[in-house]
Amino acid sequence: MPKTIKAIYSKGKLEPLEKVDIVEGSEVLVILLKTPVKSRKNGLDKSAGAWKGTIDADKLIKDIYEGRLVSTRGTPEL
């Protein structure tokens, strides 16, 4: 009967993390599925690059510099 267990691969051998009910020396079929490692990144690191491609950076920079050329102040009276 199929059973799923967790194991750790160490020193060239799979070591079960729980008791297995099989006779010593029995041949078994092992299918390996690597479990995902929990991410240690914070939210900022996870979202890095998420906005990539959503805006035209060159146009944004151009607009910023053009906006700096527009004077909204009146001419000072001397």
Euclidean distance between CA atoms 2 and 22, whole angstroms: 12
pLDDT at 40: 66
Residue 17 contacts residue 4 (beta carbons within 8 Å): no
Instruction: Establish if 64 belongs to a structural domain.
Output: yes
pLDDT at 12: 92
pLDDT at 57: 86
Non-local CB neighbours of 16 within 8 Å, separated by 6+ positions: 5, 6, 7
Instruction: Establish if 16 belongs to a structural domain.
Output: no
pLDDT at 61: 92
Instruction: Establish if 7 belongs to a structural domain.
Output: no
Instruction: Establish if 32 belongs to a structural domain.
Output: no
Euclidean distance between CA atoms 40 and 70, whole angstroms: 46
pLDDT at 51: 76
Instruction: Establish if 56 belongs to a structural domain.
Output: yes
Structural domain of residue 56, as residue ranges? Answer: 41-71
Instruction: Establish if 58 belongs to a structural domain.
Output: yes
pLDDT at 27: 92
Instruction: Establish if 27 belongs to a structural domain.
Output: no
Indicate the number of domains in the chain: 1
Euclidean distance between CA atoms 49 and 46, whole angstroms: 8
Instruction: Establish if 17 belongs to a structural domain.
Output: no
Which residue stretches of the chain have pLDDT < 50?
none
